[in-house]
A and B are shown apart, each in its own frame.
Chain A
């Protein structure tokens, strides 16, 4: 009596769903609701890998940028090496970590962090360079030591340029995470490659759209954080006629 199970006749009456082999539509809401958990899992992995890479990059970029500023000879070395790394395609960079990290998320995170690092170190240097020299002089005149000058004056003033760099790094990291599918840690990229392999359009397009939305969301969050962190720039912009 299994033939009389309640769900089966209803499905047959409505015909093949929009993500079946027969129809294979690009847009299919049924797919999104039916595979909700799979989509949430992939998105979670995507966000985790992206955030881990960004945090690692920020944690390394700040001290590296400060050291590079202190020692001009190191600056050209740091910029040269990071430009070289940026030149290497992601599909080729991830395998180069494999002998050390194996088939793990660390392979992807390290690769992505290196790309983000390149952007961020340059942003740190540009941001600090954008601080006017007379502001520094004034702070020194007020008796600020090097640490207080850096934390209280230079970094806050460098923040807009720094955050612009972070936006670029974040958006491109979200997009690049998809390539991690090479070692099966690509988040939404896993769904995209599965979609290509099976010619499954709804899966492919849903994952791609989610990826772009994720990038836009992260970008908006960073812009919001920047507004909160630099209230003075908003005031001056508002005061200007």
Chain B
């Protein structure tokens, strides 16, 4: 197990963390990319999906966008964007080399879980709740803001959480096409036959991924304190089938 010793040596060497190409700089770069892409995707995807769900239109598209996203390999899309004349491998401010290409790919891959979950969430609001709200004289906007959106929130948030996982994975794979981020440590290590370094990068990426997931789960729990019990009650009755196809993104 010499490789594991090399891994530890790389991880415990302060020099591999600091400096312009160090893991701390790459980590910050990847976090910045992920947060920007997630925000962009939410900004684009949420209004569209929520509106479609409210109107009850475009369901076929909203559901199938996830299936299409799964079939397109992340790596292939990144490769296409980097090799094309635009956006190419140019650097983009703090986002690093191939920044724009990576950012576009990240945003595209974050959209399917956000759109599908948000659409399904609004459609899943029980019909009698909608009817009761209409009967009370609520306008379409009031119905959406006061009844549909609060009830849909847990599933909308779980879509954002899936998108975060997806974005972090995509940002890591970006290193395979000379993109920015922590994946560089992995690909550089493998390219130089320095497998200890490659595994060290993988360990850091995995730990941050798990940390992000735990963080997202906590946020989700804090944002919907009183709904967990309700949702668990209804989930076993009719929801699991709907949630599972929407639940697993490709990466």
A and B pair up: yes
From the candidates B80, B172, B178, B248, name the one contacting A172 in the complex (CB within 8 A): B248
A208 and B73: CB pair below 8 A? yes
Q: Shortest 4 CB-CB distances between A and B: which pairs?
A: A89-B169, A208-B76, A95-B202, A92-B205
Count the B residues whose beta carbon is within 8 Å of the partner chain — how many? 50
Q: Is B244 positioned at the interface, with any CB of A under 8 Å from its CB?
A: yes
Contacting residues, chain B, for A96 (C-beta < 8 A) = 199, 202-203, 206
Give residues 187-216 of B contacting A (CB, 8 Å). 187, 190, 195, 198-199, 201-203, 205-206, 209-210, 212-213
Q: How far is the CA of A83 from the CA of B247 in the complex (A)?
A: 11
**Which stretch in A142-150, A163-171, A225-233 binds the other chain?**
A163-171
A92 and B244: CB pair below 8 A? no
From the candidates B3, B77, B172, B177, name the one contacting A92 in the complex (CB within 8 A): B172
Q: How far is the CA of A95 from the CA of B176 in the complex (A)?
A: 14
- Nearest-CB distance from B10 to chain A (Å)? 12
Give A210's nearest chain B residue, CB to CB. Answer: B76
Q: How far is the CA of A118 from the CA of B76 in the complex (A)?
A: 24
Q: How far is the CA of A12 from the CA of B95 in the complex (A)?
A: 45
Contacting residues, chain B, for A212 (C-beta < 8 A) = 71-73, 76
Binary B-proximity of A113-131 (CB < 8 A = 1, otherwise 0): 0000011001100100110
Binary A-proximity of B72-87 (CB < 8 A = 1, otherwise 0): 1111110110110000
Give B82's nearest chain A residue, CB to CB. Answer: A196
A175 and B172: CB pair below 8 A? no
Contacting residues, chain B, for A205 (C-beta < 8 A) = 80
What is the interface of chain A, defined by CB distance below 8 A to chain B?
Answer: 83-84, 86-96, 98-99, 118-119, 122-123, 126, 129-130, 161, 164-165, 168, 171-172, 174-176, 178-179, 181-183, 189, 192-193, 195-196, 199, 201, 204-205, 207-208, 211-212, 215-216, 219
Q: How far is the CA of A66 from the CA of B65 in the complex (A)?
A: 32
With contact pairs A95-B202, A119-B248, A126-B244 given, residues A189 and B73 touching in the complex (Cβ less than 8 Å): yes
A99 and B199: CB pair below 8 A? yes
From the candidates B4, B165, B176, B244, name the one contacting A164 in the complex (CB within 8 A): B244
Interface residues of chain B: helix, strand, loop or mixed (majority): helix
What is the interface of chain B, defined by CB distance below 8 A to chain A?
Answer: 1, 3-4, 67, 70-77, 79-80, 82-83, 165, 168-170, 172-173, 175-178, 183, 186-187, 190, 195, 198-199, 201-203, 205-206, 209-210, 212-213, 236, 240-241, 244-245, 248, 250-251
B244 and A196: CB pair below 8 A? no
Contacting residues, chain A, for B250 (C-beta < 8 A) = 171-172, 175-176
- Nearest-CB distance from A53 to chain B (Å)? 14
B74 and A175: CB pair below 8 A? yes
Q: How far is the CA of A182 from the CA of B201 in the complex (A)?
A: 13
Contacting residues, chain B, for A216 (C-beta < 8 A) = 71
From the candidates A86, A172, A182, name the one contacting B190 in the complex (CB within 8 A): A182
Give A160's nearest chain B residue, CB to CB. Answer: B241
Give B7's nearest chain A residue, CB to CB. Answer: A99
Q: How far is the CA of A215 from the CA of B245 in the complex (A)?
A: 17
Contacting residues, chain B, for A90 (C-beta < 8 A) = 169, 173, 251
With contact pairs A89-B169, A99-B4 given, residues A204 and B251 touching in the complex (Cβ less than 8 Å): no
Contacting residues, chain A, for B177 (C-beta < 8 A) = 193, 196
Q: List, sorted by A's number, 17 A–B pairs whose CB atoms are closer than 8 Å.
A: A83-B213, A84-B210, A87-B210, A88-B205, A88-B206, A91-B175, A91-B202, A96-B202, A99-B199, A126-B240, A165-B244, A171-B67, A192-B75, A193-B79, A196-B82, A199-B83, A208-B79
